[in-house]
Amino acid sequence: MVNIVTKPTDEPFTFGSATYGSYETFNLNVGRAQKIGNFSYLLSFAHAQSEGDFKFKSVNDLTLKRINNDFHSESFLAKAAYDFDNGWEVSLLNEFFYDNRGVPGLGEFQQPNANQKDLRNLTSVNISKERFIKPELDLDITLYNRFDDLKFKNPTPTIGVPIDTLSKTYAFGINPKLTWFAPYNQTITVATEARGEFLSDDDFNNPKRFTYSAFASDEITFFDEILLINPVVRLDVWSTQQNETTTDVGFSPRLGIVVSPKKYLSFKTNLGRSFRAPSFGELFFPEEGFIGGNPDLKPETAYDFDIGVLLSHPKAALEVTYFRSHIDDLILFVFVSAQRIEPQNIGNVDEQGVETTLILRPFDFLELYGAYTFLDGEVEDTGAQLPGRPRNKFDFRGVLSHDIVAVFWESHYVDSIPLNAFPNARSTDPRTTHNIGVKGEWKKVFASFEVKNLFNNLDVRDALDFPLPGRTFFVTAGINFDK
């Protein structure tokens, strides 16, 4: 389903901003939105470019430079809407994106000549009607079309023959939704979606997929909103046609309950089953040598449960949630060799953990935010820790503000991340990074200065072992003309 949310345009605004930073990074954003009578529009343009030639530490502790990591992109978004004053509203949205980038590959096995060009265009039409047929009914229908064109070339890969990939994906669909504000404090939603996806790629024999989904939910409140019950059911049918046709059917029921005995205190729990067929991208990811798709993936099924408590106050908020799930045939992108990443069904997984978030506002000029996640995940067949996920993760942010100026500090810790589903798998190193910055705003003008990875940690890598930049500097300046 396509769901792009754009800023409401009741008040006109025109904005522009530019950012310059390390590795010759430059971003430009401009836009305009306005409402004229019953007609409204939004236009925005964004440009981004960077050399991306940062330094990083290799697995044998050598300091290397990221090569062939430059990129530039252009994107344009336009939206127009008309309100007919009788509950009907029609809007048209188009988003265009183009990207041209070098593809350096994996950390130590860099590709000096690989290049990728992406072109994407999304068009959607939304038709909505308040008080449809009856005053308590609302109707919303979205029709969409998407086109993706990806060209990848690598004349000199580290292993194998030269690669020249052209992949074109066409997708279209319709998503009608009906909302009924029913008696006895109920909000009943019924929706369906039909979607078609067609891939033009000779490497995968030009596959196609048709997806049909049906969704129903009922949000019921009792005792002056002290108790909320939200049952949800979803049915999905995927028909994938490649060398042969396969059909997967998934039924996903879920029940959510929220109890709020006080305005500042809520308890919540969710229990459900979900069924997910592999996505079109997981099955048929365009071949790039070091990464590619896997047409042999099986659907995954999950049973999950969570329970939590939320305490809220104007000066503080605390949320603690315990979660537990069992997933059959979990799909993850993992290393299948030292120089190859593919999506795999890594097996059955049991995981449990705790998520904690704390926000403090002891003074008007100070806000503190902290979040900690503990995840204990194990692959049943191997006993290995869940790949691609850190066991511990912590985030902190503090903001001091006065009048037109705000200063912030951020700290982020990510535990080691296993790279495949086998015991004693190679993993990323634990990493800690710190960011600082200052932002100022005066009348229509705003500016900021940020330093990311302040202490220049060159061991930082993501969940797929791609190196990330060391210390970087960014300066941004902009103006809101209609403020």
Residues 202-223: tens digit of each pLDDT: 889 999 999 999 999 999 999 9
Count the alpha carbons within 13 Å of 10 in the hemisphere toward its beta carbon.
1
471 phi and psi, to 5 degrees? -65, 130
How many structural domains compose the chain?
Answer: 1
Instruction: For residue 17, give its domain range.
Output: 13-480
> Is 3 domain-assigned?
no
> Is 406 domain-assigned?
yes
Q: Is residue 368 a contact partner of residue 397, using CB atoms and an 8 Å limit?
A: yes
> Is 181 domain-assigned?
yes
**Predicted confidence pLDDT, tens digits, the chain (483 residues):** 444 445 455 678 899 999 999 999 999 999 999 999 999 999 999 999 999 999 999 878 889 999 999 999 999 999 999 999 988 999 999 999 999 999 998 888 889 999 999 999 999 999 999 999 999 999 999 999 999 999 999 999 887 889 999 999 999 999 999 999 999 999 999 999 999 999 999 889 999 999 999 999 999 999 999 999 999 999 999 999 998 999 999 999 999 999 999 999 999 999 999 999 999 999 999 999 899 999 999 999 999 999 999 999 999 999 999 999 999 999 999 998 888 999 999 999 999 999 999 999 999 999 999 999 999 999 998 899 999 999 999 999 999 999 999 999 999 999 999 998 888 888 999 999 999 999 999 989 999 999 999 999 999 999 888 999 999 999 999 999 875
Q: What is the pLDDT of residue 60?
A: 80
pTM over 0.95: no
What is the rounded distance in angstroms from the CA atom of residue 17 to the CA atom of residue 13? Answer: 13
The DSSP call for residue 111 is: -
> Is 2 domain-assigned?
no
Q: What is the CATH number of the domain that holds 168?
A: 2.40.170.20
> Is 385 domain-assigned?
yes
> Is 122 domain-assigned?
yes
Contacts of 134 (CB under 8 A, 6+ apart): none
Q: State how far the alpha carbon of 455 is from the alpha carbons of 13, 57, 171, 434, 459, in Å.
A: 39, 14, 45, 7, 11
